[in-house]
Structure 1
Amino acid sequence: MCKRNQNKTDMNEKTKIPAPLIAIIPLVVLVALLAMVIPIFGSDALMGGSQVSLLVASAVCVALAMGLYNYKWSVLEEGMAKNIKKVTPAIIILLLIGAISGTWMLSGVVPTLISYGLHILSPRFFLASCCIICAIVSVITGSSWTTIATIGVALLGIGKAMGFDTGWIAGAIISGAYFGDKISPLSDTTVLASSTTGTKLFTHIRYMLVTTVPSIVITLVIFTVAGLTMSHTDSAQSALFADTLAQKFNLSPWLLLVPLITGILIVVKLPTIITLFISSVVAGICILIFQPHVLLQIAQSDTLDFATGFKALMTSVFGSTALSTGHPEIDALVATRGMRGMMDTIWLIICAMCFGGVMSASHMISSITNLFVRFVHKPKSAVCSTVGAGLFFNACTADQYLSIILTGNLFKDLYHNRGLESRLLSRTVEDSVTVTSVLIPWNSCGMTQAIVLGVGTLTYLPYCFFNLLSPLMSILVAITGFKIKQGIAAQFAPKASETVKGAPDAGHVLVG
């Protein structure tokens, strides 16, 4: 008995939980720095200002942990290393998305989609159609990132040609893509949320429809009304876009095989990295077949020999390209940045993972999350606390996957003790984490979509109606009590004043 108590004492001494007021200081520092960096640097905030802000906040966390709670540097360093290792696949995916953005544009795939879209889509219903198309593609692919980087980029070009503001277009694209990602059984976030909370996948998806369907219906109504009331560019401007693209690229229905092949590879559940790699290779081959004149312009050469073609093709994959069409707005549309264009995002993700790693390893996240648990008394307070925790983790860890894991594990036993179904927790986690990650400028999702679409996070945020409505709808449904059951386990629930001991931190979750 004495030995057991001694071991427990040693464990408590080893795991020092900082006071909440201390734990929140690094987050306050981060928010304060970003509040200065974003307005001052504007769209250039991702080119260094935001990264430095994250590193400074990380340094503050390290100083507090080592100075006040005697944490060893090796422990904090390990926390950062684990977090960075976790996002390695995402970094590779980002590089491949950069390759696709270059090869799909220069091969004529995106220009072909834009040209056909200008002839098919009605400007009055473009925003709603844009949202629906992205939703369908995202359900099929199970990936909002892939949807936005491919069909989303094409739709952005169509919307610009029709005279829509980029914030509205990006909002429609993101709303549809995240709706599809959220309810698709192929989505990694959907699977992660259901598995973390111990909920059957299709039980989780069906229960999400209660909040997801009303949110997307309201979103479509808003986009429809906006499309009907907004002024659009006349048909002559759209025709100018289509004609200019046709003059610059060899447009062909055969180029649609590239997105078709990509879709098939996704449907057969080939790993994302392999799918994106094959897609970029096929698009690169299409550059050689359909757009040899584009290679000449990239290489700035009059003859296309092996060395010139190889250099131009490689540049289309990793480097920046600029094609002259005689129209500045179209020049900006067809310009590409390739893999190199993703480096600011990757740098930002690494810095964000450093911040999330030291916050987790120092148990400052655990300290703050205990505050959420104290407010849980009834189903509506449980949902509100879960939403608050999800938003907090998205802002603090800057990673939606880690936020899903932390929120799910934090509230899993609590929901069980209060007799609440696990599907309520899994739905609330998705409503509060998955769809809001793209709204936070320094979150991996927010920074990625801003780079891919070329539209700032704060520019498209007000128009991502589905993403904004989802957490509010989750709270509203909880208040009404619709389809929320509370079982007999509630009588064994701990007192409201009790906190969850040993709240999971990122290190425990990842190792486990």
Structure 2
Amino acid sequence: MTPARSNHVGIALLPLCLVIGLLGLNVYLYGDAGIEGPNQLALLLGGGVAAVIGLHRGRSWQTLQDGMLKVIGVAIIPILMLFMIGALSSTWTVAGIVPTLIYYGLQLADPSWFYAAAAIVCAIVSTAIGSSWTTAATIGIAMMATGAGLGMSEAITAGAVISGAYFGDKLSPLSDTTNLAAGVCNVELFSHVRYLALTTLPSFAIALLIFVGLGIHHSSGREVAETQAIMNALSTSMTLSGWLLLAPLLVVVMIVKRVPALPVMFIATLIGTVISAYVQPELVYQIGGERSASGLYKGLVQTIVGSSEIITGHSFSDTLLASSGMAGMLNTIWLILSAVVFGGMMEASGLLGDITSGLKRLARSRTSLVATTAGSCGVLNLTAAEQYLTILIGGRMYGDMYAQQGLSQRNLSRTLEDAGTATSVLVPWNTCGAFHATALGVATLSYLPFCFFNLISPFMSMLYMRFNIAIEEA
């Protein structure tokens, strides 16, 4: 790397280093409360520094603004998804769907196997529907509540849920990222899935072994009597029935039928609202503040858009059933908007290009090429804050280099998934990290050390290339 190029890369890293430094300071000073404003300010300051550097380089403000707006456009669907997930989780709680899952989960779950079971269940669901977001926002929420009822670690449970959810997000032919990675590399979809399975299955198997070990050595924080008290509180405060589980089953069917995720979430919220009105009217009256038609309407609206509480007489159960609706997503949406401003400024000012160009110079061998691809995916997840952009930019950057090394494009598409898709959820301000932290109620940096599948996946790609395991030539 020439001194001039090295200097460009150093300058390009300044906004990113500023953001990471400020976020680290916020974690120290504010803890999880950093998402309530300090983290957003850090990202906006980073975007401001990127804009100043871009202006100094001769970019016009209009160019920078257009770049920012372009990236914000990519974030609109995730933002709408967040609103719908807030509404869905609240309506399904009041309807009794989530409490029913918790009730049966507490009956059937064994603490020693709970983490591994949570990962497996989420892997099955995410493979069937192709969406880590939908999996985390439905089954994942129920797993978190069940784990809390059993006295399990919230952070480890979230790591297990995310590990399982991203197993399907990588491997399912229905997954948007799976299709995107195959498409950007010009690889046939099922060929990509079969090749990706070679690294995905061992990574998940290792993660499961770790979860089993953690579960076996876990001493449940709740006595049998306390678990029974939770079950009694749920069953006496609302109507619980196995029939209510037809709602999540319908969601699975719709997504398997290739209905887009956003309409599915909207329909599922309507279903939850109707069930709430007909199956749990007393709860809705309680939330609405009066026993009347207007009280029923106000209760349903409050459930969807704002915070709602269900009083069971058991304090821990009350905490489990509390929800915040659409309004509870606002801090996360604020974070995502701040992140895409930062990412848009980094890209429009040319700083992102300088960083990725510097990384490409490190790819001198096949192993270093895969390592550099994985590193670029990490940087892109940090800066672009959106996994789709990570896969698109990464695929365009390295296609020719894989061909020059005599490697099939399937090696690139696999690495993009192992490193790009899997690690997006580990970045607090990435749309994936922000979403899962909000949906599961656990801060990104808290669950990060326990997302074993996501952490192992990039290294599995590098390991396969280093020892020439299942490597396809061009």
For this structure pair, what is the TM-score category when the shorter chain's length is used for normalisation?
Answer: over 0.9
Computed over aligned residues only, the root mean square deviation of the Cα atoms, in angstroms, reads 1.4
Q: How does 1:168-207 map to 2 (within 5 A)?
A: 168-207=156-195
Pick from 69, 78, 96 the counterpart of residue 90 of structure 1.
Answer: 78
1:453 and 2:428 correspond? no
- One-letter code of the match for 1:182? K
1:228 and 2:220 correspond? no
Pick from 283, 291, 298 the counterpart of residue 311 of structure 1.
Answer: 298
1-structure distance, mates of 2:168, 2:185: 21
1:285 and 2:274 correspond? yes
- One-letter code of the match for 2:107? H
Asked whether the equivalents of residues 172 and 178 of structure 2 are also in contact (C-alpha less than 8 Å), the reply is yes
TM-score by length of 2: 0.97
- One-letter code of the match for 1:119? Q
Pick from 300, 320, 327 the counterpart of residue 289 of structure 2.
Answer: 300
Q: How does 1:115-264 map to 2 (within 5 A)?
A: 115-232=103-220, 233-264=222-253
Range with bigger deviation, 232-241 or 144-153: 232-241
What corresponds to 1:106 in structure 2?
94
Equivalences, count: 469
Query: How far has the Cα of 1:122 moved from its partner?
Result: 2.0
2-structure distance, mates of 1:129, 1:204: 27
Q: Which runs of 4+ in 1 moved over 3 A?
A: none
1:369-406 per-residue CA deviation (whole Å, 9 max, x = no partner) reads 11111121221111011011011111111111111111
1-structure distance, mates of 2:206, 2:369: 25
What corresponds to 1:39 in structure 2?
28
Secondary structure of the 2:425 match is helix
What corresponds to 1:349 in structure 2?
336
Asked whether the equivalents of residues 98 and 342 of structure 1 are also in contact (C-alpha less than 8 Å), the reply is yes
Pick from 336, 340, 359 the counterpart of residue 327 of structure 2.
Answer: 340
Pick from 371, 376, 379 the counterpart of residue 358 of structure 2.
Answer: 371
2-structure distance, mates of 1:280, 1:195: 32
Query: How far has the Cα of 1:297 moved from its partner?
Result: 1.5
Secondary structure of the 1:179 match is helix
Q: How does 1:428-443 map to 2 (within 5 A)?
A: 428-443=415-430
CA 1:266–1:486: 2 relative to 1, 3 Å = closer
Query: How far has the Cα of 1:82 moved from its partner?
Result: 0.5
Secondary structure of the 1:87 match is helix
1-structure distance, mates of 2:326, 2:131: 20
- One-letter code of the match for 1:413? D
1-structure distance, mates of 2:128, 2:76: 25
1:131-164 per-residue CA deviation (whole Å, 9 max, x = no partner) reads 1000000001100000000011111111111111
* Percentage identity across paired residues of the two chains: 41
Asked whether the equivalents of residues 117 and 158 of structure 1 are also in contact (C-alpha less than 8 Å), the reply is yes
What corresponds to 1:276 in structure 2?
265
What corresponds to 1:11 in structure 2?
none
Q: What 5-or-longer segments of structure 2 have no aligned partner?
A: none
1:84-141 per-residue CA deviation (whole Å, 9 max, x = no partner) reads 1121111111111111011011100000011111112222211111110000000011
1:232-278 per-residue CA deviation (whole Å, 9 max, x = no partner) reads 23322221111111111100122111111111111111111111101
Asked whether the equivalents of residues 299 and 311 of structure 1 are also in contact (C-alpha less than 8 Å), the reply is yes
2-structure distance, mates of 1:61, 1:377: 30
Pick from 456, 460, 467 the counterpart of residue 469 of structure 1.
Answer: 456
TM-score by length of 1: 0.90
Asked whether the equivalents of residues 17 and 367 of structure 1 are also in contact (C-alpha less than 8 Å), the reply is no
1-structure distance, mates of 2:398, 2:197: 21
Query: How far has the Cα of 1:408 moved from its partner?
Result: 1.0
1:195-238 per-residue CA deviation (whole Å, 9 max, x = no partner) reads 11111111111111111111111111111122122112332222
Asked whether the equivalents of residues 119 and 164 of structure 2 are also in contact (C-alpha less than 8 Å), the reply is yes
1-structure distance, mates of 2:388, 2:316: 37
Asked whether the equivalents of residues 130 and 173 of structure 1 are also in contact (C-alpha less than 8 Å), the reply is yes
1:255-309 per-residue CA deviation (whole Å, 9 max, x = no partner) reads 11111111111111111111110100011000011111111221222x2x22111
Asked whether the equivalents of residues 360 and 366 of structure 1 are also in contact (C-alpha less than 8 Å), the reply is yes
2-structure distance, mates of 1:94, 1:485: 39
Asked whether the equivalents of residues 17 and 364 of structure 1 are also in contact (C-alpha less than 8 Å), the reply is no
Asked whether the equivalents of residues 102 and 146 of structure 2 are also in contact (C-alpha less than 8 Å), the reply is yes
Asked whether the equivalents of residues 118 and 158 of structure 1 are also in contact (C-alpha less than 8 Å), the reply is yes
2-structure distance, mates of 1:179, 1:39: 32
1-structure distance, mates of 2:359, 2:186: 21
Asked whether the equivalents of residues 230 and 316 of structure 2 are also in contact (C-alpha less than 8 Å), the reply is no
1-structure distance, mates of 2:339, 2:82: 15
Query: How far has the Cα of 1:18 moved from its partner?
Result: 8.7
2-structure distance, mates of 1:111, 1:269: 28
2-structure distance, mates of 1:83, 1:37: 25
Q: How does 1:67-86 map to 2 (within 5 A)?
A: 67=56, 69-86=57-74
2-structure distance, mates of 1:334, 1:279: 18
1-structure distance, mates of 2:185, 2:39: 33
What corresponds to 1:383 in structure 2?
370
Query: How far has the Cα of 1:418 moved from its partner?
Result: 1.9
1-structure distance, mates of 2:351, 2:435: 27
2-structure distance, mates of 1:257, 1:17: 58
- One-letter code of the match for 2:406? G
2-structure distance, mates of 1:174, 1:376: 31
2-structure distance, mates of 1:311, 1:486: 63
1-structure distance, mates of 2:7, 2:190: 39
CA 1:485–1:299: 2 relative to 1, 3 Å = closer
- One-letter code of the match for 1:249? M
Asked whether the equivalents of residues 89 and 137 of structure 2 are also in contact (C-alpha less than 8 Å), the reply is yes
- One-letter code of the match for 1:201? L
Asked whether the equivalents of residues 410 and 472 of structure 2 are also in contact (C-alpha less than 8 Å), the reply is no
